[in-house]
Structure 1
């Protein structure tokens, strides 16, 4: 799997999970008090060596692909030095455990032939486990853009979180969250190109102003066939959005030079909002026209402007 190169910078891993822990503290305390005198190490949150065969995969996992080469490298490292950072699991009623965080370490431990893996136990509900898993995954660098987009969408759908709240939980800025969610508007085939790495996050975002699914698909095919850069893709999309019209009025308008600063501001707004933007300027006065074709775009625009 090829990681997209233009994904916005992330904050340090761990802040989002830490923000969740106070919310589940009451649940953890109640579970500990109800348990039949658990070992002191478990209460203190110290890791236990748990058989890898007694751990079930997390059904809320947002990662759909695992890079086998990277997994092999991690397995070799675990064979040599062991698991440096414990995984996080929760006990199940049937006596087994369910993974919350650390799927790659768990898989790599199996690949390395380890019988046990260090794990920290957490007493959390299904809802809390799902939220912790999604947030933990969004803080990692190995999710492709579409996996991140679907994870954000699930946070909003399952937990009714606004984009601002999602940004706070995952340590990202709100604009980044909005840009990831916009990727879900892309046709399925184009989403597949982003997921496989044929198109980067920047390429995908540059295609969004086209809006029409068929036009986006054709443009994506041309971009990949010609190996266009993100900047070239942006220029190509602008050409599709503003085709030359051979009318006398437009021919006359073309004779008038366009201020480079105005053109740059227009391009920046289109890239940021993912919508068609036109700036009409005359001697420092004018208007900004933002076009949208669906209510979802309008709501996103209002949130962006309000923020």
Structure 2
């Protein structure tokens, strides 16, 4: 090999630095604060990491690279995630501040949409999702995040985030039923504010019914339990033997309004006078703040 007079190897051919510069321009480590979900992915389930994945990432300090493209955000440049949401979520849970990413400046909107469409669906396990969100609230490094701050990062409402986290308050047996798909997350949210014994009793009652009791029915049972009606085994002693039949139009309106504001609602209407009441349920003050925010109330 030829050497320079100093004894050091000659400089590499001129094309090598050009390739290195090309790679450097396309690949970088990006701070989590400058990454955001693609608008094409908003509303879809997030890929929450499993505990063993988080442990490995913390041990190695590394995650797989993302594919991103720059987007203008006022006076600074952010990066839209086109592929690798799982790495983004894993980095947050493991406390890794910088993540590797391929930066694509040359993609059209159609190409970017095609990339986001091929990302795998999020984790359907509600309990693992709740555990991962809990981990994101308390990163391995740095202070604990507020629910409002985490909701902004994930592109969801604070109310929706609080509903997911409520599942962490469930009895382990009820959590296991949800993990196996025997109960839905909605059943769990309806039971989360009850004592563990009442949770197990009402969940078992829901499972005994064929078909399985609806979320709405479990909400009624939970409301009766909170009002002091004792739970006996798998049954609640009702306040009356023949409750009035539900108006299907009111029931549909209750569901629609509850989904809009993120909390269960109850409408009582007197057809003779045209008067009625609207009752909004909330699990804690943070959920109430989210409901008021949805209604446009500002203090």
The TM-score with structure 1 as length reference comes to 0.46
User: Structure 1 or 2: larger helix share?
Assistant: 1
The TM-score with structure 2 as length reference comes to 0.47
RCO comparison, higher one (Cα < 8 Å, 6+) = 1
